[in-house]
């Protein structure tokens, strides 16, 4: 089944779950009126459905390195050009720089549709969006003038170069060198796992490269950030060579490159030895973007599985009292369970991602007195959005294969591609384990737990506005999350926190999703007469999440509080026995 952009679901989540429509009331985002946002969503929905989605299956054939140049799958160039011509790279870029100046919340909804339609291709504009952010925040006026316009227009694309063979998540171990030469630097070293590090979609590729200056301090305190274009102003090549393409489990259309820098010319962005902080500007919002990749895949995999389940006739369906059922597998109780869970998990991930984007928008647009609060909330929610979004993508894509049965294991159906493609998102931009460590190690403690308590308070407020079976489920999850949070805050030994960090991230993610979907139920109930069929679906799916998925948090909370003792019950040697 081809992907169809779920515009009504997206609008409902933006307006009534994340409550992002209020951004138009701020001075910064006054242009983001409901009419403008609606027109943008409609246009991207059409582009994603009609132009990008047909590239999903052909793109699985993969990009190829031929005579030192990367050639992308057939149709990718036309798809990328459609994105560039529509101005989609600069949707959230500042208007004075050539962008539209719209909220990240709108960009997030747009990115979801691109990821659903063709995840491999969507990574290219996502990398460029991050590069635009890093330039906007840290580059000199001269570098902004030279590069930003081209990236915002989509004429040039951007990349992020951190990882090296000996330095994965430990970026402080990188060895790439930068030697001063006049007003520039000569960059030498090798980078691996560079998404869209080379391709044939644009005129030039702008690499953001972490490297060490001579006599720089060791570790992460001695890293600087440089812009290294593939081609120089005179059109000559700049010493950036694509050594090879990684052979990957999935995401074949997206070229993941090994790049060699041999005396390449680069220019410093930000201050010397402050490169990691500059790169984190790009990385933090990229983490939300990767969570949205998981969300987008979940939506596409759900649509794909639903189409198959409603058409596939197999077995005899046990009748339900007072209800005549057809013979399609969607009527089998276990298939129905999987489809409801897929839809519920997808809506939960959408709620968290849009809610995070709204917090990051408010950190820029709220009155001065409130910005710090919103900034801390956005920082706390970002690891949730990244990890929960990608976990949802993997879980839902895997269930989609199961719905297809044996046909899900056969590549022709396309069900397996969703899982193969999305699997890497749990590793991108800091593994989900790193997100969990960031949550308990930094975000939980940055204000003595105040932001975490505000997330708990939001759930408590929801609990007081309604009393139903669904609300009682939220109460149980809140209790579990509160106990886990208090336990975490009481631990002075960081090793004990880290031992339960993944479970705690799942507790807080589930609580936040349950709170937001409970809010959505209330919004749907008061609007039921406007569109009964649609709002009935909203209530049913959210109720399913609260009743059947959210209780997982209770088990996660127990695990979060266990500490590290059993993790180390065996030595490394004993584990091999």
What CATH code is carried by the domain that includes residue 120?
Answer: 1.10.540.10
User: Are 58 and 94 found together in one domain?
Assistant: yes
Please answer whether residues 278 and 134 qualify as being in contact, where contact means their C-beta atoms are separated by less than 8 angstroms.
yes
Q: Which two tokens stand for residue 440?
A: 């308990």
Q: How many CA atoms lie within 13 A of 157 on its CB side?
A: 25
Reduced to 3 states (helix: H, G, I; strand: E, B; else coil), residue 449 is: coil
Residues 73 and 148 in one domain: yes
Q: What is the pLDDT of residue 106?
A: 97
Asked if residue 125 is part of any domain, the answer here is: yes
Helices (H), 366-414: 368-404
Distance between CA atoms of residues 337 and 330, nearest Å? 9
The residue among 225, 254, 273 that closes a domain is 273
Helix, strand, or coil here: 508?
A: helix
Q: Are residues 92 and 228 in the same domain?
A: no
Q: What is the gyration radius of the CA atoms in the chain, in angstroms? A: 24
Marked catalytic residue, from 112, 429, 462, 482: 429
Structural domain that includes position 452:
432-577
CB atoms within 10 A of CB 496: 19
Q: Are residues 206 and 123 in the same domain?
A: no
pTM as predicted: 0.95
| Within-domain flag for 142 | yes
Main-chain phi, psi angles of 176, to 5 degrees: -55, 135
Active site residue 429: yes
56 and 99 housed in the same domain: yes
Q: How many CA atoms lie within 13 A of 509 on its CB side?
A: 31
Average pLDDT value over all residues in the chain:
94
Whether residue 17 contacts residue 11, with contact meaning beta carbons closer than 8 Å, is answered with no
What are the angstrom distances between the C-alpha of 352 and each of 245, 511, 545, 570?
34, 10, 13, 37
**Whether residues 474 and 485 fall in one domain:** yes
Q: Are 73 and 62 in contact (CB under 8 A)?
A: yes
Of 397, 387, 400, 405, nearest to 422 by C-alpha is 397
Q: What is the pLDDT, as a whole number, of residue 61?
A: 96
**Length of the chain measured in residues:** 577
State both tokens at 499: 């031992």
Q: Is residue 528 part of a domain?
A: yes
The C-alpha atoms of residue 461 and residue 454 are separated, in whole angstroms, by 10
CA distance 303 to 226: 42
First to last CA, the chain: 47
561 in Cβ contact with 500 (< 8 Å): yes
User: Would the CA dihedral through 43, 48, 54, 59 be positive or negative?
Assistant: positive
Task: Say which DSSP state 567 is in.
Answer: G
pLDDT score for 221: 87
Backbone angles phi, psi at 95, to 5 degrees: -60, -40
| Tokens matching residue 167 | 């330095």
Distance CA 284, CA 434 (A): 13
441 with 529, same domain? yes
For residues 379 and 285, give the distance between their C-alpha atoms in angstroms, rounded to a whole number: 10
- The answer on 221 and 114 residing in a single domain is no
Whether the Cβ atoms of residue 524 and residue 17 lie closer than 8 Å to each other? no
Do 577 and 436 belong to one domain?
A: yes
CA separation for the pair 388, 430 (Å, rounded): 13
State both tokens at 359: 């917090």
Are 147 and 38 members of one domain?
Answer: yes
* Whole-angstrom distance, CA of residue 285 vs CA of residue 133: 9
Rounded Cα gap, residues 421 and 240, in angstroms: 27
Residue 323 confidence (pLDDT): 62
Closest CA to 541 of 365, 353, 260, 299: 299
Q: How far is CA 121 from CA 49, 51, 240, 399, 492, in A?
A: 14, 12, 22, 24, 45
What is the number of structural domains in the chain? 3
Residues 227 and 152 in one domain: no
- Is residue 111 helix, strand or coil? helix
In a domain, 384, yes or no: no
Q: Considering 251, 273, 295, which residue would you say is the last residue of a domain?
A: 273
Helix axes 333-365, 104-117, angle to 10 degrees: 150
| Confidence (pLDDT) at 269 | 95
Q: Which pLDDT score is estimated for 283? A: 77
Place of tokens 């960031």: 438
Mean pLDDT by 10 residues, the chain (577 residues): 92 97 95 95 98 97 95 97 94 88 96 98 95 92 94 96 79 87 95 96 96 89 94 96 96 97 96 85 86 98 96 78 74 95 98 98 96 97 98 98 96 96 94 96 95 97 81 95 98 95 98 97 95 97 97 97 95 93
In a domain, 414, yes or no: no
Please enumerate, as own/partner, the contacts of 451-458 that have beta carbons within 8 Å and a separation of 24 or more. Answer: 451/376, 451/377, 451/379, 451/380, 452/380, 452/485, 452/489, 452/508, 453/485, 454/373, 454/377, 455/380, 455/481, 455/508, 455/511, 455/512, 455/515, 456/481, 456/482, 456/485, 456/511, 458/512, 458/515
Q: Give domain status of residue 392, yes or no.
A: no
End of a domain among 156, 190, 205?
A: 156
Does residue 306 form part of some domain?
Answer: no
């Amino acid at each position: 089944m081809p992907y169809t952009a779920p515009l009504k679901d997206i609008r409902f989540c933006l307006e009534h779950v994340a409550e992002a429509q209020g951004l138009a009331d701020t001075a910064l985002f006054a242009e983001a009126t409901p009419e403008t946002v609606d027109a943008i969503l409609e246009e991207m929905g059409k582009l994603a459905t009609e132009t990008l989605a047909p590239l999903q299956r052909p793109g699985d054939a993969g990009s190829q390195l031929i005579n030192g140049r990367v050639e992308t799958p057939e149709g990718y160039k036309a798809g990328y050009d459609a994105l560039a011509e529509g101005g989609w790279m600069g949707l959230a870029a500042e208007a004075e720089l050539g962008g539209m100046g719209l909220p990240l919340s709108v960009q997030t909804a747009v990115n979801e549709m691109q990821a659903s339609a063709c995840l491999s291709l969507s990574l290219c504009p996502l990398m460029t969006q991050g590069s635009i952010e890093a330039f906007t925040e840290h580059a000199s006026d001269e570098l902004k003038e030279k590069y930003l316009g081209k990236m915002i227009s989509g004429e040039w694309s951007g990349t992020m170069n951190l990882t090296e063979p000996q330095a994965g998540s430990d970026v402080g171990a990188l060895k790439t060198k930068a030697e001063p030469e006049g007003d520039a630097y000569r960059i030498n070293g090798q980078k691996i796992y560079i998404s869209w590090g080379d391709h044939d979609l644009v005129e030039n590729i702008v690499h953001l490269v972490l490297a060490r200056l001579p006599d720089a301090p060791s570790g992460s305190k001695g890293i600087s950030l440089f812009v290294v274009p593939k081609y120089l102003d005179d059109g000559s090549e700049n010493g950036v060579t694509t050594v090879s393409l990684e052979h990957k489990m999935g995401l074949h259309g997206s070229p993941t490159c090994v790049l060699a820098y041999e005396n390449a010319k680069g220019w410093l962005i930000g201050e010397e030895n402050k490169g990691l902080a500059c790169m984190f500007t790009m990385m933090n919002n990229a983490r939300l973007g990767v969570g949205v990749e998981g969300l987008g895949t979940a939506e596409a995999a759900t649509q794909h599985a639903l189409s198959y389940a409603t058409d596939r006739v197999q077995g005899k369906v046990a009748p339900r009292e007072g209800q005549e059922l057809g013979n399609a597998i969607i009527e089998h109780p276990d298939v129905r369970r999987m489809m409801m869970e897929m839809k519920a998990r997808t809506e939960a991930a959408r709620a968290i991602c849009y809610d995070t984007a709204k917090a990051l928008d408010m950190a820029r647009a709220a009155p001065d007195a409130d910005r710090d609060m919103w900034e801390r909330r956005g920082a706390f929610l970002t690891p949730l959005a990244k990890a929960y979004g990608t976990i949802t993508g993997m879980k839902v894509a895997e269930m989609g294969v199961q719905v297809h049965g044996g046909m899900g294991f056969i590549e022709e159906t396309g069900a397996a591609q969703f899982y193969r493609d999305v699997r890497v998102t749990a590793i991108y931009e800091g593994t989900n384990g790193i997100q969990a460590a960031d949550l308990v190690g930094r975000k939980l403690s940055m204000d003595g737990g105040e932001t975490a308590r505000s997330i708990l308070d939001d759930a408590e407020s929801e609990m007081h506005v309604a009393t139903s079976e669904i609300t009682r489920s939220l109460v149980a999850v809140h209790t579990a999350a509160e106990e886990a949070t208090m336990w975490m805050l009481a631990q002075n030994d960081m090793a004990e926190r880290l031992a339960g960090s993944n479970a705690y991230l799942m507790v807080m993610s589930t609580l936040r999703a349950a709170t937001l979907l409970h809010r959505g139920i209330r919004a749907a109930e008061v609007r039921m007469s406007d569109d009964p069929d649609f709002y009935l679906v909203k209530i049913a799916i959210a109720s399913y999440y609260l009743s059947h998925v959210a209780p997982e948090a209770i088990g996660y909370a127990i695990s979060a509080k266990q500490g590290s003792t059993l993790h180390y019950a065996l030595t490394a040697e004993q584990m091999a026995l």
